[in-house]
Amino acid sequence: MRRALSLAAHGPAYGPNPRVGCVLLDSDGRTVAEGFHRGAGTPHAEAAALADARSRDIDLRGTTAVVTLEPCAHHGRTGPCADALIEAGIAVVHVAVPDPNPLATGGADRLQAAGIEVTTGLLADEGEDLLRPWLHAIRTGRPYVTLKLATSLDGRVAAADGTSRWITGPQARAHAHTIRAQVDAIAVGSGTALIDDPSLTARTADGGLFEHQPLRVVLGRRTVPDDARLRGPGGPLLHLPERDLDVVLRELGEREVRHVLVEGGPTLATALLAADAVDELHAYIAPVLLGAGATAVGDLGVTTIGEAARFATQDVTRLGDDVLLIARRAGLARASTDQPDAGRTGVDRPVPQQPSSSSTSTNQSHQKEI
C-alpha cells in the first residue's frame, strides 16, 4: 500500500479526479504490475496497472490488487475499474479509502458479489492525507479552501503608504507559484483585483507559465476592467458577483473545483475566517517589521483569547530568510451563542465588528451548510 500511495502522488494534485495508485501482486507477494491515474480522461490506476501487466503477458488470475481508493463502479470516460479487476481474475483487493463519491461508489460490493475478497482501511490515515482536498470537496460539496497570507513579523501586508512589493523574498514567492500550479482555482476579492491588478498565474522560476494554469476567480460586485491583467495569458477568468460565501463555495464545487487557493486581500481573508470556511493556512512570514499599514486579517469579533480561531500546525519550512507555516483547521473555537450567520458576510466590503458574545453554535451551523 505504501508503494501504491507513492505512485498515486505522481498524479496531478489538481483536477476533478482523485490521485490513485495501484499495485498488483502475485501469490508470493511480489509486484507484477503497477499504475497510477495521470489525470482526467486518462486510464484509472487499476486500468493502468492491468495494462502494464498485459504489456508483459502476465496472467493475473489469482493475483492481489492493492489500491489507494475503492475501485469505481460507474461508467465515465473510462469503464468501471471493479469490472476490469473482475474480468482480469483478481482474487483479493486491498483498499485504503472507500470512495465517498455517490457517482462512483459501490465497487467493493461489486467485487465481493463476484467472489473477490475485499478489505478496506489499510493505511487509511495516509490515504486520507493524500486525498484530503478531493475527499473534502466530495464529502461537503464545496472546495477545500487554502488561505495564503504573506506578512511581516507584525502581521502587516503593506506599509503605511500602501506599498507591499516585496515583503517576502524570492524563494517564498517561487514556492507560492508551485502551490498555484497544484490547485484548481485562485480567488481574490474584487477590491484586490482593482487595486493590485494581479495576473494570478502560476509561473516557473524563469518567468514562464506552468503547463497547468488554475481558474482565476474574482469575488465581489465590482467589475474586472477590460484591460486587467486577469484577462491576459493564464487560466480562465470567472467573476462571481455573489456576496454570500456559502453560495460562492457551492458554485465552485458545482464547477468541480476541488481546491481553491485564496490570495486576498484582507477583506476576503477576514470574511472566510469569520465564516469558519478556511481549511488550511499558508502563512509566509518575513523577518520584517513595519509597525503600521494594512493587516492581513481584519476584525473577527474576537474579544477574548478563548474565542480565537485556532489552527493546528502541520509543517514549518524555511524559504531563504522567510518562513512558511502550514496549519490546518483545528476545530471551531468560538464560544458563545448569538453571532449572526457568517455565511452572509460580504466578500467585497469590510467585515463589521461583532458583539463580544461570538457564537460557536452559529459557526457550526454554517460549517454544516458549506
**pLDDT tens-place values along the chain, 370 residues long:** 999 999 999 999 999 999 999 999 999 999 999 999 999 889 999 999 999 999 999 999 999 999 999 999 877 667 799 999 999 999 999 999 999 988 777 899 999 999 999 999 999 999 999 999 999 999 999 999 999 999 999 999 988 988 888 899 999 999 999 999 999 999 999 988 998 899 999 999 898 999 999 999 999 989 999 999 999 999 999 999 988 999 999 999 999 999 999 997 899 999 999 999 999 999 999 999 999 988 999 989 888 998 888 899 999 999 999 999 999 987 432 233 233 333 333 444 333 333 333 333 333 333 322 2
Could you list the residue range(s) of the whole structural domain that residue 53 is in?
2-130
Q: Report how far apart, in Å, the C-alpha atoms of 18 and of each of 97, 147, 166, 236, 272 are.
A: 11, 22, 36, 22, 25
182 and 57 in a common domain: no
328 and 205 in a common domain: yes
pTM for the predicted model, two decimal places: 0.85
| Residue 357 buriedness (CB in 10 A; 0-12 / 13-18 / 19+) | middle
- Read off the CATH number of the domain in which 281 is found: 3.40.430.10
327 and 198 in a common domain: yes
Write the CB contacts of 57 (distance below 8 Å, at least 6 apart in sequence). Answer: none
Pick from 256, 226, 228, 222: which is nearest to 240 by CA?
222
Using DSSP's 3-state secondary structure scheme, residue 163 falls into coil
* Cβ neighbours around 331 below 10 Å, total: 10
319 and 182 in a common domain: yes
Positions annotated as catalytic residues are 46
Cβ atoms of 186 and 180 closer than 8 Å: yes
**Could you give the number of structural domains in the chain?**
2
279 and 227 in a common domain: yes
